[in-house]
A and B are shown apart, each in its own frame.
Chain A
C-alpha cells in the first residue's frame, strides 16, 4: 500500500466562541494517499471546512497529530507553515479570496514570487490561459464575475504545482452551470499536476467525482465513512 501523504491521528479542534468553548472536530483519524481525490461532505457545522483548514495549516489542532508530506504541521510555527504551503499546497475557497488591489495576473503570480521564482509571471500567464482567462490578465477582481474570479483562484492554487490541492466548496457562490465548469477545471488541473485533492462540498454528486467520499457529522467522521477511510 502507498504511504499516505496526509495522516491525521486522533485530532481534536476546539475553538472559543461567544457561547463558550466549542468542540469542532473530535478524534479524527484519516489517511490520504498520494494522487488520491477525497470528497468531504456533511451538513453545515459538521466540521468539513475546519478539517480542510487543519490540512492546510490554517488552523491549529487542539490535540492529535497532523502530518502532511512527512511534516508534522502541529509542530511548525506560523512562518514555517506559510513557507510549507507556498511550496506544496494550493487552496481554493468558496469566496475566492483574491487580493482586491492586484490584477488577475498579479494574484496568480504572487505565491511564486513569494518563493523567489524568477519565471513567476510567465507561469502565471500560462496558468491563466489554462483556465481560459488569458484575455483578462490585467483585470482586477472587482472587474470580473464570480466564475472568473474563481477561475483566477484555481489558477493561483495550481500555479505552484501543488502536491496537495485543497478546495473548500469552490462552487458554493456560483450558479449551477458555472459551478460545473469550475469543477471540470479543478479536476483537469488536478489531473495535469497529479496532485492529491481534498474537496469539501455540500453536493453529493460533486463529491462522487472523487475516489473516496468521507462524511462528517458533529465533528466526527461518520461510521460508514470511517470504515471506508480505514480501507
Chain B
C-alpha cells in the first residue's frame, strides 16, 4: 500500500473524532477568508456596475474633453462626421444667486451646460416628473434650470423661484433626482445645477479665459472600433491637449479609487489572516500535542516520519479546506444579503453578484495562510519518537525542524506576498505592508519571549515574596510559553492595526481640520477677469476685516512631452500629468518664493520660454534643470526649458503653482486671475456678498466648506478602513478566546491545587485576572509603539504631513487590550473557580 493511501486511511479514521478542537482553527480561517472575499465581491460588483453602465455614466460611447474652450467649428464638424450623434457639455463652478426680500443668498454650484442631445444614454430624473428639455425650456422668456435638492434646500428655494448664474436669470423648474453621468463627475465642491448652454450666452460665465471644461460625447455605431476611433481622434486633435474616455471605462477616476481602496482593504484583510494564523498554528500545535501518544504508537508500529507527516497534513488540509469553504460562503453571502444597503451607500452603480474571481483570490490567500501557519507545527511531528510513550507525553513534538520546512515556509510567504502584490496592483504598498506585518510579528514574538523570561525571573525575586497572588500570576506568564505568545501576538497585531489606523486618521483630520484653517485663506476666488482685478483688490482693501489678498494670473494646460518624449513615458502616471494643471506667469519671483536650484529669469526677459518647476514634484518625476516641457495651453503647444526649481507648499491652501513661466511665454493667451482672501471668519459672509454683488461672474469658494467636504470624503474612507481593522481585531478576539479555552484545563487544575493549599476563590480570581491584564497591557503597549511607527511612516512618507502622537486612542488601545484579555480570561475563570478540587485532582491521578 502506498504511503499516501496509508496516510489517508489513518487520517480518515482520526478525523472521525470530530471537530471540537478545531473551532478556533475554522473560525480564524473562515473569518479572514470571508473578509477578503466580501471585499472582492463588492469591488467586482462595482466594476461590473461601472462597465454595464459605462456608456450611461460617460454620457456616450466615447467622450472628448477640452479644457478652457469649445471645439472650433472644423473640429466640431469632424466629430459630427465621425460619430452617429454628438452632444456638447460645458462644466464649470459658479455661484447660484437668489434675491429674496431685499436679501441676496449665494451658493457654490457645479454647473453643467447641456445641449438638446443630452443625455445620449439614460435619463435625467426630475421632480416634478418631466423631461429635461421641458425643464430647461424658456418659461415666459426666462430659461429654466434644474438643481440638486441639497442646494435647493440650502438656499430655501421652491419650484418657480428666480435664480441667477452670472448675469443671467433662470427659473427653477425641477429638482434633480438623478443624472446618468454623475458617477463619472468625481469629486465636486458644489451641488449640481443643469442649464441649457444657449441660455448662458448672456451670463458672462463662459468668456475666454474663464475656467471651464467642455466635453463632446459621441454616440457611435455598434460596429465602430473604439480603439481605432481613439487613434483617429488623437491624430486629429494631436496639438489640442484633449482627453479621451470611452464606455469601456466610463469613470476611470472612480474605478481607480475603488480599485485602490479595495486593494488597501484586502491588505488589512491579510493582516486579519495573519492574526488568525496565530490561532490556526496554536490549534494545530495543541491538536498534535494531544496526538503525541498516537504518533508515538504509530512510530512504534513501524510508521515512518513521512507517513506520519502525510497523515496529519491530510487531516489539517481537509480541515483548512472546510474552513476556507465556510469563509467563501460567508464572504459571498454577506454582500449579497447586504446588497440594498451597500448599493444605497455607493455613489456609483454596482452589480453585486457571486463571481468566481474574488472567491478564487480569497481562497488562494486562505490556502497559503493556512499552509504557512501549519507547516511548522506539522513538521515537528517528525521529532516524535516511540520513546514518548514512556515519558511525559506533552514533550514529544518539540524541538527544531528540518531546513526544508523553513525554506518551504519562506517560499509560501513569498508566494502570498507576491500574489497580493500582483492582484492588488499596489506593489510598493503591498511590500511595505508585508514588511510591516512581518516586522510586527517578529517584534511581538521577541517581546512575548522577553516578557516570559522577565516574568519568570521577576517571580523568583524577593520583591514579590509575600504577595502570592501577584507572584503566581507573574510566574504563570513566565511558565506558559504557548499562551503568552498566542495572546501577545494575536492581540498585539490586531491592536497594532487599530492603533495605526487611529494615528493616521487623527493626523489626517488634524492636518485638515485644525492646522490648515490657522493659515489657510477664507476664500479662493477664481475667474477674475483682467479688467476686474484692480476693482476687487480695491474693494477688499477698503474692508478692515481683510488681512491679506494674494492674486496670480492663471491658465490651464496639459504637460504632453518631456524632452520631446511623451510625458507618460518619462514620468509614468505621476499626478502632475493627470489632466490639466494650473499655470501662472510672473516677471519677478514672489517675495516668499524660495529657489532651490537654477535662477529666475530677468524681469524683462523675452527670449525662449522658461519654466520654474516645483522642486519636490520635479524630483518625483525625474526632471533636471535644462529639461524641456511641452505644455498644451488652449490648443497651442508651448515648449519651454526648466531654468529653476522652487519650493511650493500646498499644505497652507494658499496659491501654489507647479508651473510658473516667464510672462512673454504666455503673452496673448487669454487668462483669468485667481486670488486668495485672508480675513476674519466673522466677516466672511459680508465679503462674499460684496464681491458677488459687484462681480456676478466670479466664483468664490469658501475654504472651510471645501475642507468640510474633503473631511467628509476622508471620514468615509477612514470608516471603511476602521471596519477592516475591526475585522482583524475580531479575529484576534477569537484567537484570544481559543487560547483561553485551550488553557482552561490547566487553569482548572491550577485552581484545584491552589484551593487544596488554602487559596480562597477571590485570590484565585485575582490571580487569573492579573495574568490576563499583564498580557493585555503588554500587547497594548507594543501595539502603541507599532501603531505610532506605522502612523508616522504613512503620515510622513505617504501623506507628506507632520506627525504627532495622538494620545487618546493610544491609551484607549492599551485600555482596550487589558479589557479584552481580562474579560476573555474571566469568561474562562468560572469553571476553574467552581470545580471541586477532589474531582479535578483525582482525574489527574
Is B682's CB within 8 Å of the partner chain A?
A: no
Is B65's CB within 8 Å of the partner chain A?
A: no
Task: Name the residue in B468, B475, B478, B755 with the highest tally of chain A Cβ atoms < 10 Å from its Cβ.
Answer: B468
Q: A99-B472, A99-B753 are in contact. Are A113 and B465 (CB under 8 A)?
A: yes
Residue from A56, A103, A110 within 8 A of B460 (CB atoms) = A103
Contact B472 A79 (CB under 8 A): no
Contact A120 B465 (CB under 8 A): yes
Is A222's CB within 8 Å of the partner chain B?
A: no
Q: Nearest-CB distance from A165 to chain B (Å)?
A: 13
From A33-41, A63-71, A88-96, A126-134, the one touching the partner chain is A88-96
Complex alpha-carbon distance, A86 and B207, angstroms: 97
Contact A94 B476 (CB under 8 A): no
Contact A56 B756 (CB under 8 A): yes
Q: A58-B836, A97-B753, A99-B750 are in contact. Are A113 and B468 (CB under 8 A)?
A: yes
Complex alpha-carbon distance, A142 and B479, angstroms: 11
Contact B755 A101 (CB under 8 A): no
With a cutoff of 8 Å between Cβ atoms, the chain B residues found around residue A53 in the complex are 838, 842
Is B550's CB within 8 Å of the partner chain A?
A: no
Closest to B762 in A: A79
Contact B755 A93 (CB under 8 A): no
Complex alpha-carbon distance, A97 and B468, angstroms: 18
Residue from A100, A118, A156, A172 within 8 A of B757 (CB atoms) = A156
Is B334's CB within 8 Å of the partner chain A?
A: no
Is B386's CB within 8 Å of the partner chain A?
A: no
Complex alpha-carbon distance, A93 and B845, angstroms: 8
Is A138's CB within 8 Å of the partner chain B?
A: yes
With a cutoff of 8 Å between Cβ atoms, the chain B residues found around residue A156 in the complex are 757
Q: Nearest-CB distance from A1 to chain B (Å)?
A: 31
Q: Nearest-CB distance from A107 to chain B (Å)?
A: 9
Residue from B462, B471, B753, B758 within 8 A of A87 (CB atoms) = B758
Contact A78 B761 (CB under 8 A): yes
Complex alpha-carbon distance, A116 and B462, angstroms: 15
Q: A58-B836, A93-B845, A100-B479 are in contact. Are A114 and B392 (CB under 8 A)?
A: no
Contact A82 B758 (CB under 8 A): yes
Is A147's CB within 8 Å of the partner chain B?
A: no
Main secondary structure of the interface of B (DSSP, over half): helix
Which residues 132-153 in A have Cβ within 8 Å of B in the complex? Answer: 138, 140, 142
Which residues 2-61 in A have Cβ within 8 Å of B in the complex? Answer: 15, 49-50, 53, 56, 58-60
Is B340's CB within 8 Å of the partner chain A?
A: no
Contact B841 A79 (CB under 8 A): no
Is B503's CB within 8 Å of the partner chain A?
A: no
Complex alpha-carbon distance, A113 and B758, angstroms: 10
Q: Nearest-CB distance from B140 to chain A (Å)?
A: 91
Contact A101 B757 (CB under 8 A): no
Contact B465 A114 (CB under 8 A): no
With a cutoff of 8 Å between Cβ atoms, the chain A residues found around residue B535 in the complex are none
* Pair count A-B, CB < 8 A: 103
Is A187's CB within 8 Å of the partner chain B?
A: no
Is B821's CB within 8 Å of the partner chain A?
A: no
With a cutoff of 8 Å between Cβ atoms, the chain A residues found around residue B475 in the complex are 101-102, 106
Contact A97 B761 (CB under 8 A): no
Contact B838 A86 (CB under 8 A): no
Q: Nearest-CB distance from A57 to chain B (Å)?
A: 9
With a cutoff of 8 Å between Cβ atoms, the chain A residues found around residue B392 in the complex are 142
Q: A102-B475, A113-B465 are in contact. Are A91 and B844 (CB under 8 A)?
A: no
Q: Nearest-CB distance from A88 to chain B (Å)?
A: 10
Is A161's CB within 8 Å of the partner chain B?
A: no
Contact B845 A115 (CB under 8 A): no
Complex alpha-carbon distance, A140 and B750, angstroms: 15
Contact A86 B758 (CB under 8 A): yes
Q: Return the CB mask of B753-773 against A: 1 if under 8 Å, else 0.
A: 111111111110000000000
Complex alpha-carbon distance, A202 and B56, angstroms: 91
Q: Return the CB mask of B807-844 against A: 1 if under 8 Å, else 0.
A: 00000000000000000000000000000111101101
Is B466's CB within 8 Å of the partner chain A?
A: yes
Complex alpha-carbon distance, A83 and B289, angstroms: 36
Is B480's CB within 8 Å of the partner chain A?
A: yes
Q: A85-B758, A94-B845 are in contact. Are A102 and B472 (CB under 8 A)?
A: yes
Is A167's CB within 8 Å of the partner chain B?
A: no
With a cutoff of 8 Å between Cβ atoms, the chain B residues found around residue A84 in the complex are 758
Which residues 389-431 in B have Cβ within 8 Å of A in the complex? Answer: 392
Q: A58-B836, A97-B841 are in contact. Are A111 and B760 (CB under 8 A)?
A: no
Contact B763 A114 (CB under 8 A): yes
Residue from A106, A113, A115 within 8 A of B459 (CB atoms) = A106
Q: A106-B471, A118-B466 are in contact. Are A97 and B758 (CB under 8 A)?
A: no
Complex alpha-carbon distance, A113 and B468, angstroms: 6
With a cutoff of 8 Å between Cβ atoms, the chain B residues found around residue A114 in the complex are 468, 757-759, 763
Complex alpha-carbon distance, A86 and B753, angstroms: 12
Residue from A91, A100, A115 within 8 A of B756 (CB atoms) = A91
Complex alpha-carbon distance, A82 and B468, angstroms: 15
Complex alpha-carbon distance, A135 and B476, angstroms: 23
**A86-B757, A95-B841 given. 4 additional CB < 8 A pairs?**
A50-B838, A82-B758, A99-B753, A111-B757
Instruction: Name A residues whose Cβ lies closer than 8 Å to a Cβ of B.
Output: 15, 49-50, 53, 56, 58-60, 78-79, 82-87, 91, 93-95, 97-103, 106, 109-111, 113-116, 118, 120-121, 138, 140, 142, 156, 168, 172
Q: List 13 A-B contacts (CB under 8 A).
A: A49-B842, A58-B756, A58-B838, A59-B838, A82-B755, A87-B758, A97-B756, A97-B841, A101-B480, A109-B465, A110-B754, A114-B759, A118-B466
**The 3 residue pairs across chains A and B that have the minimum distance between CB atoms:** A86-B758, A101-B479, A113-B468
